[in-house]
Amino acid sequence: MRAPKQGLRALVLGILRGQRAMKSEEALQEVKKNISNDKIILHVIAVAKIMKALARRVGKDEELWEVVGLLHDIDYERTKNEPSKHGLEAEKMLENRVPPEVVRAIKAHNFENTGVLPESDLDKALIVADAVSGLVIATALVMPNRKLAEVGVNTLKRKFKQKTSPGTSTEAKSRSASK
């Protein structure tokens, strides 16, 4: 399988800047060194898997997108009480270790605080994957073996439909709350 042009371009630019592409295994090790909360680790793994699937779907660099998903909350424990620094602290932590588009996407996923507006497909995909990961994790937790690997698109569609269909407990709660 050939690397997509954009991924190859990022790799070459990174090499020219003295950076090498971080692989997902290395990114996960960095996450585990910097995050002790198991729920946040599960969250970044879920986001990474979503990012990888999105990259495959749109013909982008799967490894790069997965790494972005893994690293997007690497500064969580340093910034959990200061959301305005989330993403900016990650930039310091990852300086000269990842290509610039990785750092940009991480900062853009907290654009409300960083001022870095999402522009690229990578930036936007991270925002979507971050938001959707909650549904994916919640679905995994009700699966027989409680594993992310068990969660498929059809399962997610059914769960989403259950949460938003007329007559569901969610709708009933909404109606009673508005009375």
Q: Indicate whether 142 pLDDT > 60.
A: yes
Question: Do 126 and 173 share a domain, yes or no?
Answer: no
What pLDDT is attached to residue 2? 42
Expressed as residue numbers, the domain containing 63 is 5-141
Structurally, how many domains does the chain consist of? 2
Residue 124 has a pLDDT of 96
Residue 92 maps to a domain = yes
Residue 88 shares a structural domain with residue 163: no
pLDDT of residue 3: 43
With residue 131 as reference, give the H or E element that holds it: helix 121-141
Among 4-13, 44-53, 60-69, 160-169, the minimum mean pLDDT is found in: 4-13
88 pLDDT higher than 90: yes
Residues 17 and 104 in one domain: yes
Question: What pLDDT is recorded for position 20?
Answer: 58
